[in-house]
Amino acid sequence: MNQPKNYAILINNTSQTKSLVNSLLNNSVVEEFKEFHNKKGLLFSRSEIERFMDEEERHDAKILTSGISQSLKSMSSGEQKKVLLRYLLEQKPHFLVLVNPFDNLDVATQSNLKEQLLSICKTTSLVLLVSRSNDVLPITTDFFKLDGNKLFSYASPETFWKKHKQASTKFIETIPPPIKPPEVEDIRLINFKNIFVSFDGRQVLDNINWTINKGEFWQLIGPNGSGKTTLLSMITGDSHKGYGQDLTLFGQKKGSGESVWDLKKNIGYFTPAMTDKFRGYHTTENMVISGFYDSVGLYTNPSDQEKRTAAQWLKLLHLYEKTTTQFLELTTGEKRLVMVARAMVKHPPLLILDEPTAGLDDTSAALFIALVNKISQESETAIIFVSHRTEVGLEPQFHYILTMNKNGSTGKATNHANS
């Protein structure tokens, strides 16, 4: 039997990825993939996981988690991808279309998945659509770049990059100042002291000690399922696991009568899920201004001062000419820059960026990282940046590293220079 072909397609934030994926899966003829016409193809992507999550939540249909008591939503990204892949393979497809399969996965889980794919590709064709050149698998037989809706063939990603130089990642203007300086009395923003967390009798976090001071830049690192989201949700007030424990947030001991609102006003927050499903009609300018009101999208009349600040941010981001453009029309990379500006307009004491570069192409990720470094250098806002990738160019001062053990994850703070 002939070894199936394996395709890799480099996409960027202007590629019409969805349309190509639909054509491949719905039996439309795509010249370069004629061999798949009338063959069974299945999709492995974040959007498929979200679709199954929706089925579970709205219709109580446990499809990926049949026979498992835990919900799909409460699983870590690695766990979710594992159950999706198992489900797809059970249906014995002729080919698999995988969109950014390695996003949100830690290094070990990525290499597990890579090994699994290397074994699957002996019998099933793979069509891998990836935003990062490093994610192209070595078994690729045919490599393309998707520009808009057109596929261009290249011998390899290296040949592509030789022909196309990376765009510049420089921001020239300085970070716009806040209209009103934030009131932070305490230099110590967050203090976890001997914190333990369990779910259903299973300990997930084991004796966490972590202090974040004003202006510090942290990268939070840990394998899938190690408890990063759990830690963040204790800071944002979305988890009650901190009650009765020694957790101090912005000068207030957890459980001392603080409201979730008290916490949220101290935090600028961004995770790609905030815009991936966002369908509201708002201009780019209004999206930035909505950061003053803690809503996603603007539902009130902004002041002149707020408009001036938004203009300064858009100039900094080289997006001033898109002030009145609908936010939905921006590229994914542009949307993420705008959402960081939205989270930063008030210069909150703490900015949380939860896997903010997932799904971005190499150039957009570099631009995003340059912006975060700049915020760290030019503002007093502390930053927690969660990412599985070694983000080239990111300049955190400290790492907080979660390591998984039998009794849950332990944490270690390291100075970036020594780690």
Residues near ligand ATP (CB under 6 A): 70, 74-79, 199-200, 204, 222, 224-230
Q: Identify which of 380, 383, 311 has the alpha carbon closest to the alpha carbon of residue 354.
A: 383
Q: Which is nearer to ligand ATP, 326 or 410 (CB)?
A: 410
Rounded to a whole number of angstroms, the minimum distance from the CB of residue 81 to ligand ATP is 9
Q: Which is nearer to ligand ATP, 175 or 247 (CB)?
A: 247
Q: Which is nearer to ligand ATP, 135 or 206 (CB)?
A: 206
In this structure, which long-range contacts are made by residues 40-43, counting pairs with CB atoms below 8 Å and at least 24 apart in sequence? 40/91, 40/92, 40/93, 40/94, 40/95, 41/93, 41/94, 41/95, 41/96, 41/97, 41/127, 42/88, 42/91, 42/93, 42/96, 42/97, 43/88, 43/96, 43/97, 43/98, 43/99
Q: Which is nearer to ligand ATP, 354 or 361 (CB)?
A: 354
Q: Which is nearer to ligand ATP, 13 or 230 (CB)?
A: 230
Q: Which is nearer to ligand ATP, 77 or 275 (CB)?
A: 77
Q: Identify which of 322, 335, 323 has the alpha carbon closest to the alpha carbon of residue 278.
A: 335
Q: Identify which of 45, 55, 50, 53 has the alpha carbon closest to the alpha carbon of residue 20.
A: 45
Rounded to a whole number of angstroms, the minimum distance from the CB of residue 260 to ligand ATP is 17
Rounded to a whole number of angstroms, the minimum distance from the CB of residue 350 to ligand ATP is 18
Amino acid type, 364: S
CA 289/CA 257 separation, integer angstroms: 30
Q: Within 13 Å and on the Cβ side, how many CA atoms surround 16?
A: 9
Rounded to a whole number of angstroms, the minimum distance from the CB of residue 399 to ligand ATP is 15
Residue 2 per-residue DSSP state? P
Q: What is the DSSP track for 159-200?
A: HHHHHSPPPP----SPPPPPSS------SEEEEEEEEEEEET
Q: Which is nearer to ligand ATP, 74 or 123 (CB)?
A: 74
Which tokens sit at 89?
A: 């393979």
Rounded to a whole number of angstroms, the minimum distance from the CB of residue 244 to ligand ATP is 18
Rounded to a whole number of angstroms, the minimum distance from the CB of residue 239 to ligand ATP is 8
Q: What is the DSSP track for 33-91?
A: GGGGTTS-EEEESHHHHHHHHHHHHHH---STTTT-SS-STTS-HHHHHHHHHHHHHHT
Rounded to a whole number of angstroms, the minimum distance from the CB of residue 228 to ligand ATP is 4
Rounded to a whole number of angstroms, the minimum distance from the CB of residue 207 to ligand ATP is 16
Rounded to a whole number of angstroms, the minimum distance from the CB of residue 339 to ligand ATP is 19
Handedness of CA 80, 22, 132, 283 (dihedral sign): negative
Q: Which is nearer to ligand ATP, 106 or 334 (CB)?
A: 106
Q: Which is nearer to ligand ATP, 82 or 282 (CB)?
A: 82
What is the rounded end-to-end Cα distance, in angstroms, of the chain?
A: 49
CA 405/CA 114 separation, integer angstroms: 24
Residue whose Cβ sits closest to ligand ATP: 76
